[in-house]
Amino acid sequence: MADLSRRERKKKETREKIYSNAMKLFRLQGFVATSIEQITQHADVGKGTFYNYFSTKEAVVLEFSRRTCQDLVDTGRRNPGLTTRQRLESILHDWTDFMVQDREIAWVTIRSRDGADYDMSLHYALLAILAVGQKNGEINLDFDPAFLAESLEGMVIHHFIRWFVSGSGILHEEVNKALSVFLDGLSERQQEA
């Protein structure tokens, strides 16, 4: 039994070593400019070992995205007194910070969304917040929370893509406006109230 736990611990350490060295290189020289060979050299592992833990460089970034979103969710859970709007503003503000600060890595996470293995962390975080908002009477019950989460996620992802490709605008402002449209709608009656 002790041998198994030591083996599992070694596997975890190797995975972490590959992951941390890859992320350091991505930030230092860029995702595209970093090769798997460079990652394995810095991590002091063989190329085959890299593939035992990650199928591609994108898979490393996917792991980073999952960890980042989990950290955002955990931070949000530490503020139980927030309204649904405040929770959504908080998680989207932190998500936008990540997207701006780690621009190239964020772009890889968005580009990698078209497979079965893409990161659903933001979706699940939004889904949880919206479902609680419905339970608390803050969000309309006429819509499935998964549909609402997909809709909001689609809005913010689209604004990130437009911001990234155009190189203009302030992403925080765009995401805030998208959230406002999502929560408040466009009707004049809503704006007058």
36-40: average pLDDT: 96
**Tens of pLDDT along 152-180?**
999 999 999 999 999 888 999 999 999 99
Q: How many domains does the chain have?
A: 2
Q: Are residues 64 and 97 in the same domain?
A: yes
CA dist 8 and 15 (Å) reads 11
Q: Are residues 78 and 143 in the same domain?
A: yes
Q: Are residues 20 and 6 in the same domain?
A: yes
pTM here? Answer: 0.76
Q: What's the pLDDT score for residue 79?
A: 67
CATH code for the domain of 26: 1.10.10.60
**Tens of pLDDT along 47-78?**
999 999 999 998 898 888 888 877 776 666 66
Q: What's the pLDDT score for residue 5?
A: 87
Examine residue 149 and state whether it is found in any structural domain, yes or no: yes
pLDDT band for 4, please (50, 70, 90 cuts). Answer: low
Residue 127 in tokens = 């889904």
Q: Are residues 147 and 90 in the same domain?
A: yes
CA dist 141 and 136 (Å) reads 10
Q: Are residues 47 and 110 in the same domain?
A: no
pLDDT band for 116, please (50, 70, 90 cuts). Answer: very low
Examine residue 193 and state whether it is found in any structural domain, yes or no: no
Q: Are residues 122 and 67 in the same domain?
A: yes
Examine residue 192 and state whether it is found in any structural domain, yes or no: no
Its domain, for residue 24, covers: 1-54
CA dist 90 and 64 (Å) reads 20
Q: Are residues 46 and 67 in the same domain?
A: no
